[in-house]
Amino acid sequence: MTKTVTVNITDQDPPYPLSQPNLTGATGALQQVSLSWNAVTRADYYRIFWKKDATNNYDGFDVNDNNTYDGVISVGNVTSYVHAGLSSGNPYHYTIVAGKVGYEHAETARSNSRQASSVTDFTTETLGTDNDADLVVYYDFDSGGSGYLANKSPNTGGAYNLTAVGSEIVVAGSRFTGNTAAYFDAAEGYAFANDVNDSNITELSNTGNFTIAVWIYPDQDMSNFSSIMSTGDQAGKNAGAFQISQISSSPNPNKIGMYAQNTDIKLEGPTILDNTWYHVVFTKEQNGVDNGTGTFYVNGVQADNETNFKTGFLKLKIGINRVSQNNWKGYIDEFKIYKRALDSTDVCDLFKNDGPLNDGATCP
């Protein structure tokens, strides 16, 4: 659904009067809503305060009290935004705040007719740059520039771009930041890069060391083995092609796990919830004895590991499993491959500082 939000600002001195938008519901198929508002001539930026609340007419926004809203999104000088990653069927409420750089008290939230006590030059929220020398593949799924399927690694940009299959990958604004994420709706849409393999990137071989890191936001109604990513097709299963997938039928209990060598070896993560962001990491590290050790992390915490974990990286597929079935349904963001095995400190740092949450969370 699309809901038009009108923001009015007068030529009088601050505080400026703004209207309070109210939106009740999200589009179930995509878990997102579209917001738009009239341009404010004197505004330099806008901030969107949002609250998920069962109250039909929520009127508790206070820009000075983060207990009155669930999130705030800085969008710069634009007049529309797609708020994605929402829970289908739940009311969401919004207040749009306009501001002007250099004007004290330039922000006003109409919901409680009070003026902010101070003003900050808020700019568009962006993710920090990952300058790790071993970052070989990076899909941020941001639109614009060279495209949302482009490899944005500063080390290998221009190579290893994804190709979309089908038309069921939707790019929309991430719930937590101003960047975007890719939504896969389990209708046979996925993306692949045949050249992301252990021939072109030797560290991805079974005798190499590598890391896969990704943020996920699972939707409901996925089948068993619906996969975030995989590294081969039906013919490559016995060559060690693996996948990160949901390993229990929806709705509960859901888990995410890593499989290798068909289903002979698996690493299991904890039970997860729908409509929630998780950071998932798999590392492969040689131990000098067998096929190496595979370790699985969820939200910065080690969930499982196994020695003699054979892997085969024949290609990269995102949003579908090894046998080209069981598509992922939900958001995928900040997909990265490093050509070394990150240690637990590195993994925790990624969880705390990288990706959609980006809120200073700590590893338990």
Edge-to-edge strand ranges of the sheet holding 2-4 = 2-4, 32-36, 80-84
13 with 158, same domain?
A: no
In a domain, 230, yes or no: yes
B/e letters for 224-261, b = 16+ CB within 10 Å, e = fewer, are ebbbbbbbbbeebbebbbbbbbbbbebeeebebbbbbb
- What are the tens digits of pLDDT across the range 314-330? 999 999 888 777 788 88
Question: What pLDDT shows up at residue 347?
Answer: 92
Question: What pLDDT shows up at residue 143?
Answer: 65
In a domain, 20, yes or no: yes
- Which of 129, 130, 128, 137 lies closest to 339 in space, CA to CA? 137
In a domain, 360, yes or no: no
Question: What pLDDT shows up at residue 30?
Answer: 54
> Using an 8 Å Cβ cutoff, are 52 and 90 in contact?
yes
Residue 26, phi then psi, degrees to nearest 5: -130, 155
Range of the domain at 82: 2-115
DSSP label at residue 223: P
23 with 170, same domain?
A: no
> Using an 8 Å Cβ cutoff, are 347 and 297 in contact?
yes
Beta bridge partners of 163: 192
Question: What pLDDT shows up at residue 251?
Answer: 57
94 with 61, same domain?
A: yes
Which parts of the chain have pLDDT scores under 70? 1-34, 37-38, 41-42, 54-59, 63, 82-91, 100-130, 143-146, 167-168, 172-179, 186, 220-221, 236-237, 249-253, 261-263, 355-361
Question: What pLDDT shows up at residue 219?
Answer: 79
3-state helix, strand, coil in the chain (%, to 5): 5, 35, 55
78 with 149, same domain?
A: no
Number of domains in the chain: 2
Sequential DSSP letters for 283-323 = EEE--SSSS-EEEEEETTEEEEEESS-----S-EEESS-TT
In a domain, 130, yes or no: no
> Using an 8 Å Cβ cutoff, are 100 and 43 in contact?
yes
> Which CATH number fits the domain that encloses residue 276?
2.60.120.200
In a domain, 358, yes or no: no
Question: What pLDDT shows up at residue 288?
Answer: 92
What's the sign of the alpha-carbon dihedral 193, 334, 153, 343? negative
74 with 185, same domain?
A: no
Report d(CA 31, CA 76) in Å as an integer: 23
Question: What pLDDT shows up at residue 338?
Answer: 96
149 with 296, same domain?
A: yes
In a domain, 359, yes or no: no
Amino acid at 279: H
> Using an 8 Å Cβ cutoff, are 195 and 338 in contact?
no
In a domain, 362, yes or no: no
In a domain, 265, yes or no: yes
Question: What pLDDT shows up at residue 57?
Answer: 62
Question: What pLDDT shows up at residue 115?
Answer: 22
Report d(CA 175, CA 39) in Å as an integer: 23
48 with 106, same domain?
A: yes
Report d(CA 226, CA 250) in Å as an integer: 10
- Which of 174, 144, 190 lies closest to 73 in space, CA to CA? 174
143 with 94, same domain?
A: no
> Which CATH number fits the domain that encloses residue 96?
2.60.40.10
